[in-house]
Amino acid sequence: MLPECSKALTDLPPYLFVKLNSVKEEAVRRGLQLIDLGMGNPDQPTPAHVVEALCRSVREDTSTHRYPQTKGLARLREAIAAWYHRRFQVTLDPGREVLPLLGSKEGLAHLFFTYLTPKDYALIPSPCYPVHYNATLLTGTKVHLMPLKEESRFLPDLDAVPTAVARKAKVLLVNYPNNPTGAVVEDLALFDRCAHFAKKNGCLVAHDNAYSELAFDGYRAPSFLQLPQARKYGVEFHSFSKTYSMAGWRIAFAVGNAEVLGNLYKFKSFLDYGIPGFIQNAAVSALEGSQDYVSKITQTYRERRDVLVASLREVGWTVPTPRATMYVWGHLPEPFRRGGSFRFAERLLLQEGVVVAPGIGFGPFGEGYVRFALVEDKSRIEEAVRRIGRFLRSARCERGRCGRRTGSSVLLVEH
Ligand SMILES: Cc1ncc(COP(=O)(O)O)c(C=O)c1O
């Protein structure tokens, strides 16, 4: 008989999207045509010049066929530092303050393994990108959840962390623009509070800035390192996945504190050989080439956001308009809240073939919400909302309450 796998792994529920996938399979078996607003998986092709750079590199530079190095090519680290300076006016030492990663998911998870032990605490927001929470638990550490509440603009309250927990905290994670809530920070005030917290309690700050470039209506996301002294206390993660629609390429980077990045590099050097060289070369062309693509996809996401928010409103579901990310985070219509977000998402999927991500998948404080990812074109989003409207109406009619409305929101049965 084979041994059991680790307790930490056994204790984890299946990854949200793995669970949703089996419901999707059932919906397809029932003959439904799916419209998938579930996973934040960019649907736009990677810029042509980046694809071209990859092909050229793999064809002409045979050194890229050999093992790469965990530390990444000097050329890439320099291109990252130059991009960071252009974007945030922050100067980085490409040798010590930049570390390429096989995706920020990989980097974040390995940062947790680099630092956390079962006697420590990690401070993780809830709701959050599921990896923030689950990868932390896999280290066996204790997790203290920091609720992100709508009334606090989805910002964590660091003063609410109990002193005993704060003293044992080793990692404080924040993420703005935020997945899944779409919340943003207006300035460096939250980062300043994080840095003070880190200084006082001897922990490090990890800022996940994966959505820094997907911002609308004139909003520009700041970086943690724009805060003077920030790099004494932490690191920031960026990704090519969303900025250049390169999610399948698996490339990202961390910047900031040299000691933290040195430790992460040491940890990773025992596990991986880094990013394939031809992908690194293509990533250089993404950073150094024209950034028109970024404006173009941002506009695409903004238009989709506007269509989704306006048409949801028409079917009686009012959701806030996010200023960044590729997500819309909506509070479930009142009567559905009791049944929970997973049940809502499951029923919507099995009845109408529309996939949304249930808030509970992002942690206990995500319950009562669902997340729409803007990864289908405008006409499919309109069609999705038509189906959602039909779903809301049919739920209302199930209990013989057809046609009644309260204010702008449709009155629904309890499930
Ligand atoms: C907040 C956040 N961080 C990190 C990631 C993972 O990005 P990557 O593709 O670089 O691993 C995601 C992916 O959706 C995300 O939402």
Query: pLDDT tens across 278-308, in order?
Result: 999 999 999 999 999 999 999 999 999 999 9
**Ligand 1 geometric centre to CA of 153 (Å):** 21
**Ligand 1 geometric centre to CA of 119 (Å):** 27
Q: What's the rounded Cα separation, in Å, for the pair 323 and 221?
A: 10
The ranges assigned to domains in the chain are 7-45+293-410, 48-288
**Ligand 1 geometric centre to CA of 87 (Å):** 20
CA-175 nearest atom, ligand 1: 1
From 14-23, 160-169, 253-262, 351-360, the region with the lowest mean pLDDT: 14-23
Ligand 1 close to Cβ of residue 103 (< 6 A)? yes
Residue 412 vs residues 301, 319, 342, 382, 391: alpha-carbon distances, Å = 30, 16, 17, 21, 10
**Ligand 1 geometric centre to CA of 140 (Å):** 22
Check residue 409 and give its pLDDT. Answer: 31
Q: How many CB atoms lie within 10 A of CB 198?
A: 20
Ligand 1 close to Cβ of residue 173 (< 6 A)? no
Helix, strand and coil percent figures for the chain, each rounded to 5: 50, 15, 35
Residue 197 backbone dihedrals phi, psi, to 5 degrees: -60, -45
Check residue 283 and give its pLDDT. Answer: 98
Q: What's the rounded Cα separation, in Å, for the pair 16 and 9?
A: 15
Check residue 245 and give its pLDDT. Answer: 98
Fold of the domain spanning 48-288: Aspartate Aminotransferase; domain 2 (3.40.640)
Ligand 1 close to Cβ of residue 179 (< 6 A)? yes
CA-239 nearest atom, ligand 1: 10
Ligand 1 close to Cβ of residue 68 (< 6 A)? no
Q: Whose CA is nearest to atom 7 of ligand 1?
A: 104
Ligand 1 close to Cβ of residue 174 (< 6 A)? no
Residue reference for tokens 């991500």: 357
| Residue bearing the bigger pLDDT, 18 or 163 | 163
pLDDT above 90 coverage of the chain, percent: 90
**Ligand 1 geometric centre to CA of 243 (Å):** 11
Check residue 377 and give its pLDDT. Answer: 97
Residue 403 confidence (pLDDT) above 50 = no
**Ligand 1 geometric centre to CA of 174 (Å):** 13
Ligand 1 close to Cβ of residue 175 (< 6 A)? yes
7-45+293-410 against 48-288: fold identical: no
pTM (two decimals): 0.94
Q: Are strands 252-256 and 327-331 parallel, antiparallel or unpaired?
A: unpaired
Which DSSP category does 364 fall into?
G
pLDDT single digits (tens) 352-379 = 999 999 999 999 999 999 999 999 999 9
For the domain made up of 7-45+293-410, the CATH class stated in words is alpha beta
Q: How many CB atoms lie within 10 A of CB 158?
A: 19
Residue 179 confidence (pLDDT) above 90 = yes
